[in-house]
Amino acid sequence: MSAPVRDETAVLPPPRQTWHPPARGPWSIAAIGAVALIGILAILWAFDLPPFGGGIETTDNAYVRGRTTVIAPQVSGYVVAVPVNDYAQVHAGEILARIDDSTYRARVEQSQANLAAAEAALANNRQARASGVASLAGQAAALVRAKADMARVKDLVGDGSVSVRERDQTKAALIQAQAAVDVAQQNIRTVDVGKGGLVAQVAAAKAQLDSALIDLGHAVVRAPESGQLGEIGVRLGQYVTNGTQMMSLVPAERWVIANYKESQTAHMAVGQPVTFTVDAFDGTRFDGRVEQLSPAAGSEFAVIKPDNGTGNFVKVPQRIGVRIAINGGQSAIARLRPGMSVITHVQTSGGP
């Protein structure tokens, strides 16, 4: 009897099913492409690559600048009044401090007395000259009379009407009158010579008085222009000397100095538009324009210049200062303070 035939298909395992992702629709493909495009654009924007960074030069090596004036006295003395406070707004000519002026008032009075004495001496000189001129006129009249007497005596001495002795006496009187005229003339010249010295003394006394009045005026320290004060560094009763730093005054004028790498300034020109942000203002954007470019790299203005004439040379990109004027009419300009950190963006592609 033959063995039964075994069915091989009955013991084979079922075929394994393979997972396949579902077919993507057109909207899914579009969304993935949009996400990829946004990522690429973000990378381009972060590295200032076209189309975002084309023609824009950026640096964070920039700061707000202003004119900081150190207020110092021109005379010495004890401070008797400080009528201002820290960070106060002041106007041009406003009193910032007073210095004891008693010594300077005394000098003014002394100078006035010296001037009066010099003017009196000059007046005496004028009077002496007038007196000398009058004396010269009298002596000249006496000389004329003596000459006339001598002329008459010469005519009379020949016929014996006048003796030789009388003639000699008349001649002596003529010589004496001539000498008196010469003496009067020399006296006038002496007075004229002395007048020059007296005029110089009057001028010196006037200059001394002017100097004393200037020192007296400097005993009151005033604001040279309007602006805001810094911290007050002088106190009541403090002794100050010429040049002592009392306080600082910062006028309202502001600008930005941006230090760009030399390669970034290739296409920069005066008048190009600038936008910048200030770290202290949380992204507030300001508008300005390129006003000037520095005539030399920053290293050229250093006290100790780098020496590159050695064997171990490393090229370091130099920085060129760019002065940026801030456009008016922006409400936040009043909040700018010199020294604030700035990030600037210069649009170089459009020209000035």
- Where exactly are the structural domains of the chain? 57-67+252-347, 73-99+220-245, 102-218
| Rg, Å, the chain Cα set | 50
For the domain 57-67+252-347, what is the CATH superfamily, name and number?
Efflux pump adaptor protein, beta barrel domain (2.40.30.170)
What count of other Cβ atoms lies within 10 Å of the Cβ of residue 4? Answer: 6
Strand partners, 273: 289
Compute the distance between CA of residue 224 and CA of residue 94 in angstroms, rounded to an integer: 8
Residue 162's pLDDT band (boundaries 50, 70, 90)? low
Nearest to 65 by CA among 247, 250, 231: 250
* Architecture of the domain defined by 73-99+220-245: Beta Barrel (2.40)
Residue 240's pLDDT band (boundaries 50, 70, 90)? very high
pTM reported for the whole predicted model: 0.65
For residue 148, is pLDDT > 70?
yes
- In this prediction, residue 144 carries a pLDDT of 81
- Asked whether the domain spanning 73-99+220-245 has the same topology as the one spanning 57-67+252-347, the reply is no
Residue 1's pLDDT band (boundaries 50, 70, 90)? very low
